[in-house]
Amino acid sequence: MKKRLDLAAFRDGILSGSRVVLGQAITLVESALDSDQELAAELIQSLMSHTGRAIRIGITGVPGVGKSTFIEAFGKMLLEKEKKVAVLAIDPSSQLTKGSILGDKTRMESLASDKRAFIRPSASGGTLGGVSGKTSEAMLLCEAAGFDVILVETVGVGQSETAVKNMVDYFLLLMLAGAGDELQGIKKGIMEMADALVIHKADGENLPSAKKAKASYQNALHLFPSSPKDWSPKVSLASSLSGLGLEETWREVLRYEYQMKESGFWESNRARQRINWLDEQIHYLLGQAFLRDSKVKQTMDHEMENVRTGILNPGTLAKKLVSLFLSTERPQ
């Protein structure tokens, strides 16, 4: 059995930019074992002073829009600009088996082969918005390893994308043209969250319809209320095949970074995200402790069938379980 690295080895490996150690560290933070969670927390704490310097970009869009293709082309363009790029690709998990496709590394083979890039597919585990519960930790590890740009790809199934919006600096929405009414099939809320909209696959026979879609979406954005951060999202065209729009997309990211740092929004947004992360972690840890409580487990096992058959009100059982949990004496 392969010996697990200790804290010093993990820390030194990450700070030296080792992709192998970085991958092992992300596996560590994703582990559900208490011992791994404890080591992961110590590791991330030891690296905090080395984080926060990267630009974090969330990329979403409906299945078939070409997120992985776009990310590979965009990532390779960034490598040419001497940037180190990390991609955290969150794959859908089966609700039955909790398994995951984890195919993004294969789809981004060219980008993955470059030593200046790091691609990590992770199962979403059914979390809201298809975002791994450990994505925030993974981002910090990538930053400590020296990556300049972190791209977070969501499942893009139209569930709440708030999860990824709340952990990145810049939220990019990829759209398709020529699919009927250009404003159908996308939730207004996701468009309102986006910092930029990109009409992808704008090449060949798709180019005319892409141009029409650009005008439609730009007109639609004018109907939305103005953003409190004083930013007006632009709609642009992009093609991963021809390279159209990739440079423009990056310039928009840099323009956004400059404007948000000048206004103070950049850091205030990250501060808010850290507080949200704290809140999520508290809920998660309390939930884990609750489900592991012996009295809670025993009562749930005894009463679950009554809930399933409709004899017992779920709310009544929930209150009973919480009361049992709160009455349990715990070590000081």
pLDDT at 76: 97
For 177-195, how does the pLDDT look when each residue is reduced to its tens digit (9 = 90+)? Answer: 865 444 444 566 778 889 9
- pLDDT score for 99: 42
How many degrees, rounded to 5, is the angle at CA 127 between CA 35 and CA 87?
80
Domain spans, the chain: 52-262, 277-327
Instruction: List the beta bridge partners of residue 172.
Output: 59, 196
Give the position of tokens 């409709």: 310
User: Strand, helix or coil at 16?
Assistant: coil
The least confident of 37-41, 144-148, 151-155, 219-223 is: 219-223
Read out DSSP for 79-119?
HHTT--EEEEEEEPBPTTT--B---HHHHTHHHHTSTTEEE
Q: How confident is the model at residue 97 (pLDDT cuts 50, 70, 90)?
A: very low
pLDDT on residue 124: 56
Please report, rounded to a whole number, the percentage of residues in the chain having pLDDT higher than 90: 63
Residue-wise pLDDT tens digits, 114-151:
999 999 987 555 554 445 568 899 999 999 999 999 99
pLDDT for 89 beyond 90: no
pLDDT given at position 196: 96
14-33: burial string, b at 16+ Cβ within 10 Å, e else: beebebebbebbbebbbeee
**What pLDDT does 4 receive?**
82
Q: Is the pLDDT of residue 90 over 80?
A: no
Cβ proximity of 199 and 177 under 8 Å: yes
Mean residue pLDDT across the chain: 87
pLDDT at 101 over 60: no
> Between residues 186 and 57, which one has the greater pLDDT?
57
- Residue 157 pLDDT > 50, yes or no? yes
Residue 84 burial by Cβ neighbours in a 10 Å radius (0-12, 13-18, 19+): buried
Strand partners, 91: 123
**Which pTM does this prediction carry?**
0.89
Cα end-to-end distance, the chain, whole Å: 36
Give the phi and the psi of residue 34 in degrees, each rounded to 5.
-60, -40
CATH code, residues 52-262: 3.40.50.300
**pLDDT at residue 105, as a whole number:** 52
Q: How many Cβ atoms sit within 10 Å of the Cβ of residue 10? A: 25
Per-residue pLDDT, 107: 67
Percentage of residues in the chain with pLDDT exceeding 70? 85
**Residues 55, 266 contacting (CB under 8 angstroms):** no
pLDDT in the model for residue 106: 56
The pLDDT tens digits for 278-321 are 988 898 889 989 999 999 999 999 999 999 999 999 999 999 99
Question: Could you say which DSSP state residue 93 is in?
Answer: B
Which residue type does 191 have? M
The predicted pLDDT at position 182 comes to 44
170 with 193: CB under 8 angstroms? Answer: no
Rounded average pLDDT over 86-93:
76
